[in-house]
Amino acid sequence: MTDKEYMDFALSLAEKTIGQTSPNPSVGAVVVKDGRILGIGSHLKAGEAHAEVHALAQAGEEAEGADIYVTLEPCSHHGKTPPCADLIIKHKLKKVIIACLDPNPVVAGNGVEKLRQAGIDVEIGVREARALELNRKFFHYIHSKRPYVTLKAAVTLDGKTATSTGDSKWITSDQARVDVHQQRAIHDAILVGVETVIKDNPHLTTRLPQGGKNPIRVILDTQLRIQKEANVLKDGHPTWIFCSENADGTQIKEKYPNLTIFQLPGNYLNINDVLDILGEKSIQSLYVEGGSKVHQSFIQQQLVNECHWYIAPKILGGTDAISVVGGSSPLLMKDATSLDIVSTEMLGPDIKIIARPRKV
Ligand code: AOF
Ligand code: ZN
């Protein structure tokens, strides 16, 4: 196998753990000597062993003189676990092949430096694009200290998310909804506006046959209008509400211990402030499920990293039906938000489009 093929194998090991390692990145490692694979590993959970630890434990003494393919620069710091660079040096590996550097300031090139100083060959950049894509949420978080924002919408062919009466059950098929629950499971938090809570009384939990972690629920509710018996309050899972400092949350807070209230200064909620606070609370990925006003705020302020659009083969028609993105349109087409389509996929009768705002 070539270097690229071994790295692809390491990347595929890492990709299988997407969503279960937060706040750590997904990492895979493969130890190879004389064309034989001696050890493989993935980082499985924050606080537990890194990918290299598993792979090297399998290789044991045979690791001496071997190469290791790692999807991220081996760490050099004492975090919750000891440095992988030290472990690689201890096992006397010959060469370390790395897909991409770790931007985490406590590592950021120090891992490579440590290895080179110990006389180990290091090659960087094999399958880099795939590795950057794999951990794009982690990298975005490290660079911006804010969560990576994915905007999700289920729409008709004519871009509507509800009828004029607000009915939206259901636009897309079961297959599309399963995909949404898979996305909920791999995000740290899910965000909606209070209008959605009042209208739909959703649970915003992950409901998959195979299980899956629930994201923290974040509700934007300036005036604290949430109904006292809302499912997101009653079901015991963590819910964070952002409201204005003028709202009084004492009673509701006492009633629901799973509820955290963040009161922001001023009379309206600034989404930039919300993202800053979520970042401080280690939320690296945020799944925004609307409604249309919330979508508009995120789009207008250019706070979206990725759009997931589930398009059902239905047409509602009517200027009174609710558009997926609210507010007023710009006057000119040249002022539209431009995106690049990353992928398209059929989910039963529906299409899923993933698109990312075009970088200018
Ligand atoms: C690696 N291999 O498999 C991973 C790495 O608290 P700790 O000790 O788990 O360190 C977490 C940091 O280590 C994380 O933020 C990232 O910079 C790096 N992750 N490094 O060598 C791995 N998961
Ligand atoms: Zn490590």
The finding on whether 79 has its CB within 6 A of some atom of ligand 1 is yes
What would the pLDDT profile of 1-45 be if each residue is shown by its tens digit? Answer: 999 999 999 999 999 999 999 999 999 999 999 999 999 999 999
Taking the centre of ligand 2 as the mean of its atom positions, its distance from the CA of residue 84, in whole angstroms, is 4
User: Which residues line ion ligand 2, judged by CB < 5 Å?
Assistant: 50, 75, 84
Instruction: Decide if the complex's ipTM is over 0.85.
Output: yes
Q: What does the pLDDT read at residue 7? A: 98
């959605």: which residue's tokens?
A: 196
3-state secondary structure 127-160: CHHHHHHHCHHHHHHHHHCCCEEEEEEEEECCCE
Q: At 105, is the pLDDT very low, low, confident or very high (cuts 50, 70, 90)?
A: confident
Q: Which residues are catalytic?
A: 52
The finding on whether 134 has its CB within 6 A of some atom of ligand 1 is no
The finding on whether 142 has its CB within 6 A of some atom of ligand 1 is no
What would the pLDDT profile of 173-216 be if each residue is shown by its tens digit? Answer: 999 999 999 999 999 999 999 999 999 899 999 998 888 889 99
- Cα gap 182→191, rounded to integer Å: 16
Q: What does the pLDDT read at residue 241? A: 97
- Indicate which atom in ligand 1 lies nearest the CA of residue 73: 21
Q: For residue 251, is pLDDT > 90?
A: no
- Cα gap 104→87, rounded to integer Å: 19
**What pTM was estimated for this model as a whole?**
0.92
DSSP β-ladder status, 239-244 and 259-264: parallel
DSSP β-ladder status, 160-162 and 216-220: unpaired
Q: What residue type is assigned to position 107 of the chain?
A: V
Q: What residue type is assigned to position 99 of the chain?
A: A
